[in-house]
Amino acid sequence: MTKAPNASSSSSQETLADYSVELLPRTEINIDRWDKCIENSINETPVAYSWVLDYLTPDWHGLVIGDYAGVMPVKISSRFGIRLIQMPHDIHNLDLFSSLTQLSSLKHLVFKHPLFRNFRFISYSFLPDVRMDSSNTITEKFLSFRNNYELSLKSDYETIFSTFSKTHRKNVRRFLKENFTIEHNTNPTVYKTLQQQRAKDKPELYTPESHNANFSKMVQTAINLKKGALYTATKKGEIAGACFFLFGKKRIILYHITNAFGRKNYATFGLINHFLQEYSQQNKLLDFAGSDIESIASFNKSFGADHLIYPAFQKNNLPLILKLGKRAHLSNRLKNLTYMFYK
């Protein structure tokens, strides 16, 4: 885990005090204004729109700054009367969203606000930010930097493919020799079905059935709205792997999973390569969602993806027995990412 860089004196002057700040339940949020703020934000991502949040984290809350000048999704839960904030299943990063650079840059101060004083546990990952480097001005006791990889889709497919590592190019060719059928799949349950089959061997991949049903509904809605695409690789009637791509205005989030047959035959490589053939030459980023784990980072980077860092805030003031349990839970979530993304 990368430590936050040292601060310069200028950041200590930044404050949220000049803005009105409210933490609202979903039922009190003006959804039209929320989604417009996300759409126009400099850090837009598809998982922050209300319709995606409604599926992936029902009963979410939103931090609303000013007159919807900035917004930030928050998942709030309670354990034994103790209030917690944590990232929802299948959402790797959220953020403080705004079209105003000076406002979005205050993300590192959000959890210092009095509204969050009574939360005993907070675990929140922000989006990668190109402004964050060794000269960054952020300093925060609970803030650390983590790794992410993003691939620009601006170039044509041949140029993007040429940036793959030698091994990745070879694995794509290996997949193509196996004569799999890649198709746009309209069955929204395919992804979670494969994931939960894998979870029988790797419990870290398990997600609750209620969440799986909602995720599949989100996939269906995204396909219907042309805001998502689901690809599957099939051979002899067996679906070996699936990739779901959730489209935003600026960013595309990648979800991928394979079974043993798919891993043996490099299905993930083939599916991502096929997507790039169809969606290159767009002014968007393909977000690989991590990672600090060396094997995953290498896998992502070898598609020609750029390395960026993102800030993560974590506070754990739980009673000791709950603190240890929460640490174990977060460790399992990390293993979840390992098994989902390891080639």
> Contact at 8 Å (CB) between 37 and 70?
yes
Q: Which domains does the chain have, with CATH numbers?
A: 2-144+311-341 (3.40.630), 151-306 (3.40.630.30)
Phi-psi bin for 66: left (phi > 0), alpha (psi -120 to 50), beta? Answer: left
47-56, 66-75, 214-223, 285-294: which has the minimum mean pLDDT?
285-294
Q: Tokens 């690989």 map to which residue?
A: 288
- Strands 121-125, 97-98: pairing kind: unpaired
Give the lowest-confidence range in 3-12, 153-162, 172-181, 252-261.
3-12
Residues in Cβ contact with 45 at an 8 Å cutoff, skipping those fewer than 6 apart: 38, 93, 94, 95, 127, 248, 250, 251, 253, 287
pTM of the model: 0.88
Cβ-contact 86, 55 below 8 angstroms: no
What digits encode the pLDDT tens for the residues 40-91? 999 999 999 999 999 999 999 999 999 999 999 999 999 888 999 999 999 9
Which strands form 21-25's sheet, in the order they lie side by side? Answer: 21-25, 61-65, 70-74, 97-98
| CA pair distance 152, 77, nearest whole angstrom | 36
**Average pLDDT rounded to a whole number, residues 102-117:** 92
Q: Given this model, what pLDDT does residue 213 score?
A: 98
Bridge-partner residues for 125, per DSSP? Answer: 312
Q: What is the pLDDT of residue 220?
A: 98
DSSP 19-88: S-EEEEEGGGS-HHHHHHHHHHSTT--GGGSHHHHHHHSTT-EEEEETTTTEEEEE-EEEETTEEEE-PP
Q: Is the pLDDT of residue 263 over 60?
A: yes
Q: Which band of pLDDT confidence, cut at 50, 70 and 90, is reported for residue 113?
A: very high
CB 283 within 8 A of CB 316: no
